[in-house]
Structures are given as C-alpha cells and as structure tokens.
Amino acid sequence: MSASPFVLPPVRLLPAGDLARSALDVPLLERALRLARWAAPERVVDATGELLEADLVVAAGQLGLSAEDPDTLGETAQAWAAAVDSGLLALDIDEEAEESTPQGEAAGRAVPGESFDAVAAGDVQEVLDVWLATAESALAEAAAPDLETLYGAEEGEPPAERPDWDPEEEADFLDTALANLYTLAALDDGTESVQGGVPLPVLAASLVVPDEMEQPSDAVLEEVTEVMLRLDDHFRLLAPTGLVDYQPLDDALIEDEDEPGLPEPAGDLDPDEISRYGLVRLTPLGLYGLRQLLLDAGASAPLVGDLAGAPGTELLDALAGYPDQLARAEAEGWLADRKPAEAARELLAAARGDDDGAPSRRLMCQQTLTLVGAEAEPALREVLDDRQLGGLARVWLTESGATDVPAPDPDMVYWLTVDTLAAQLAAGDDHELLSELVADLVARHDGFFDAAWRVDHPATADVLEAMGQLHPDRRAAKAARKAAFKARSRDAR
C-alpha cells in the first residue's frame, strides 16, 4: 500500500485464531491452497512461473470451474499467481532457461513452498501472512489489470498508444479509497452504514467532495459518478480476496434509460433502493489485513487496548481523538488493572496543564472518571481547591451522590465553562449542537459575557470568539466578539 503516513482511528480486531479460520474460507486463498496441493510433488512452468496451457486447463478442473465459462482460465491463473506470490508454491527456474525460453514453453518447475507446509501444520500467523500476501497480489492486479483485456487492444499495439492508464495513480486511488473505508469502519456508529455496508455514493463522495463544500457543484457530482464506477470495478475484483463484502452497483441504473440513474451524494437516498447503488464493507479479516498494510505504509493505526499500560497523560491525549464508544472501551481497559483511587489520582495529575491540549485532557479525565467507583472519592476531594480540577471534581462528587460537596464560587464556574467549551471546540463537535449549547448557556447566565472575558484561562479569547460565530442571536454574537476583544487586550497587557 502506497498511502503516505497519517493517523487513523483505533479499531477492534477479532482474535487471531478466528481470523485465520476466516482466511482459510476465502475463495482466492482456498483455490490457491488447492492448486498448491495439486502441484505436488512438482508441476512444469514457463519462464514467468505460469502453468503451461494444457496444465492450466487441468488445474481449472481441479478447482471445479466450468470449461464453458470464458473467465475460467483467467480465474485459475489468478489463483496460481496467488499461490506463487504467497509462498505456497516455490519456483525453480534455471536462469539461462528463464532468459532463453519463450513464454508458454517449459522452463522450470513449481513445488510446494515453505508457507504451504506451515499452513498445512495449522500455524495461525502463517495462515494470516499467506492470506495477506494473496490479498496484496489481488490489490496489485486490481490497480494494474491486463491492458489488452481492459481496452481490447489489438495484439502488438504498443502500450503508449493505448488509452491513458497510470497504474501508480490507480494504486494510490485504491489505497486512499480503502483507507477511507477503514476510517468509516472505525468511526461507524450505525449512521454511515446501511445493512452493514457503506453506500458507494458515500465512499465516492469522501474521495471527491471537499469537507468545506456544502453543496457540490455539477462538475463535482459528475466526478463522484466517475469515481463510483471506478470503485465498482475494483471492489468486484477484490470481493474474492476476503478484504471486502461487496454488493455491486446495479448495472440497470446506468444502462436502462427508464431507471433514475446514479444519485447525488448529498441527496437523501431511499433506504429501500440504496443497496442498488452498491454497498461495501471491510470484513473483520479485511480490517486486520488493511491495518497491516497501513502500518507497513507508515500510518498510525492503533488497536483498542493498546493503551492499557500507558501513563495517564498518554491515555487522555489519545482518548481526545477517539470515537465515544471506543474511548469508553479503551478507558475501561486502562482502569481494569488499577485501583480506583490510584487511577483517579493519576488521571487528575495528567489533566493539569495550561497547554493547548489540556482542556481536552480534562474533558477526557472527567468522562473516564465516570467509570470509576465510589472508592475514588478521596482522590477527588483532594483537588477541590485546585483551580483547574476543582470544578470537575465537584461534578463527579455530586453525580456520585457524595454529601458535603462545597459549592463552587462563580470564578470556578466560569473557568470550568470556558475549559469545557475549549475542549469541545478542539474536538470539532457538531456545529448545530454547539450553537444550541452556547445559546442555552448564555440564556441561563445573566451578564455572561461581562464576566467571561475576565476568566484567567489561556483559551478565553478563542472561546469567546467562537461563541460569537456560533450564537444564533446577532446581538449576543456581537457581545461575544466584544468580550473576546477585551480578553485579548487584557492578555496583551
């Protein structure tokens, strides 16, 4: 995979044994294993390692493929190539024969390889490695298919005269599409998927439509349609690899004039019709395999549970970028082997700070502490007078049913408000929800902006500026911007 390094959301993976059992059921790997067994003790190959034509026909029969199907020999050759690429078969071709023997004539032999023996012995990691090698082989084939087949080029026509096709560019396109699919799978809370899959228009739009574009132009919509068709071709080829489950685009939507055609990505898609536009999802095995490829490409692709032994600061910094359900699972894993009071003290210490990431750490601290039992109460009472932690400590104690919780003074209330809003803004929370929150907050506190600009918090001016953009009332928005100006002037002095 050629994607450049970037940070991805965490994912959960099935146990390795379950993944290996799934891998052995993948059509492409199952066929490759059958051909490796059939090849024993050896099979004649040409200079490129491919079966001779007569043996290819026999091999197709071994796979139970119909001789009447025009795709039979191509599918058999693909399975043979997967067996060679994954190490299930080893090639023994003399260098001189490789250079002098015409393609299609005997030049060497193929024998079962070391990977075949390990897979036959039930080595779980070897099964996964072999499956991943077959998937990588198929990915390369999807990005750089046989051009004569693709374009119907006449025999002998030089590649330079064929329609423009850049295998490297296509590989990058496919890598990016799969990385986006990985991200959607990691972040999926049930809103982006339909019947367990991502609609093809949604995935295509993620590759084409800029984040800041509210209404795609006609040119962008046309590009989305082109990308959908490209993705449809690729996913049809990748489905037998076990990387994805794919329900293809209904050809009638393109070919039949009476059909509605392809949808706009921003439009409301009929749930009863959406599957006709193509549905794709990474399989559990595909999630594992794609993560391995992303790691090899230099990406940061964490697993839920990776932070169980991490320091509190590292945990809170990471949780700020996690989806809610995964943040909770990671926090539960971190708390599992720690005593409640000790865990609370470590989290509270990690939450301190005036740096840009501190508000997010405190918000994550507050959320993680909701998972800690009453045994943590002494640790929370220890920080009641702390300027940065006293507010969240009072919230925890009150919600936990503790008694004798001292009321916060107004300065602490406003400080905690600014701190919480700074964390929510940093997280990029939903614009409409933040707008409603800001409006409600201002409505409940008379003279809010008069007091807020005086709050001694590094993010005060930025928070007030954001409130000016978020508040739906023009007069209140103006008051927020005026308060932000006062806060900046105070900080400058």
pLDDT digits (tens, 9 = 90+) for 381-401: 999 999 999 999 999 999 999
| pLDDT at residue 187, rounded to an integer | 82
Which residues span the domain enclosing 344? 312-400
Task: Examine residue 269 and state whether it is found in any structural domain, yes or no.
Answer: yes
Instruction: Provide the pLDDT confidence category of residue 437 given band limits of 50, 70 and 90.
Output: confident
Out of 29-33, 66-70, 119-123, 241-245, pick the least confident.
Answer: 66-70
Task: Examine residue 161 and state whether it is found in any structural domain, yes or no.
Answer: no
Other residues' Cβ atoms within 10 Å of the Cβ of residue 389: 22
The more confident residue out of 98 and 161 is 98
Other residues' Cβ atoms within 10 Å of the Cβ of residue 354: 10
| 124 and 222 inside one domain | no
Residue 65 tokens read as 């493929």
Alpha-carbon distance of 441 to 432, in angstroms, equals: 14
- With both helix axes pointing from N to C terminus, report the angle between 72-85 and 124-143 in degrees, rounded to the nearest 10: 130
Task: Examine residue 362 and state whether it is found in any structural domain, yes or no.
Answer: yes
Task: Examine residue 7 and state whether it is found in any structural domain, yes or no.
Answer: no
| 342 and 421 inside one domain | no
- With both helix axes pointing from N to C terminus, report the angle between 72-85 and 27-39 in degrees, rounded to the nearest 10: 80
Alpha-carbon distance of 162 to 146, in angstroms, equals: 12
Task: Examine residue 38 and state whether it is found in any structural domain, yes or no.
Answer: yes
| 273 and 330 inside one domain | no
Task: Examine residue 10 and state whether it is found in any structural domain, yes or no.
Answer: no
Q: Which amino acid is at 301?
A: A
Task: Examine residue 141 and state whether it is found in any structural domain, yes or no.
Answer: no
Q: What percent of the chain has pLDDT over 70?
A: 89
| pLDDT at residue 270, rounded to an integer | 64
| 273 and 316 inside one domain | no
| 285 and 332 inside one domain | no
| 283 and 200 inside one domain | yes
Of 141, 200, 203, the closest CA to residue 176 belongs to 203
Q: Which residue has the tokens 């909701």?
A: 370
Task: Examine residue 145 and state whether it is found in any structural domain, yes or no.
Answer: no
Is pLDDT above 50 for 40?
A: yes
DSSP reduced 3-state for 405: coil
Rounded mean pLDDT of 463-480? Answer: 92
Domain boundary among 400, 434, 457: 400
DSSP reduced 3-state for 385: coil
| 130 and 173 inside one domain | no
Distances (CA, A) of 165 to 140, 149, 234, 278: 14, 13, 15, 24
| 396 and 420 inside one domain | no
| 115 and 196 inside one domain | no
| pLDDT at residue 146, rounded to an integer | 53
Q: Is the pTM of this model over 0.85?
A: no
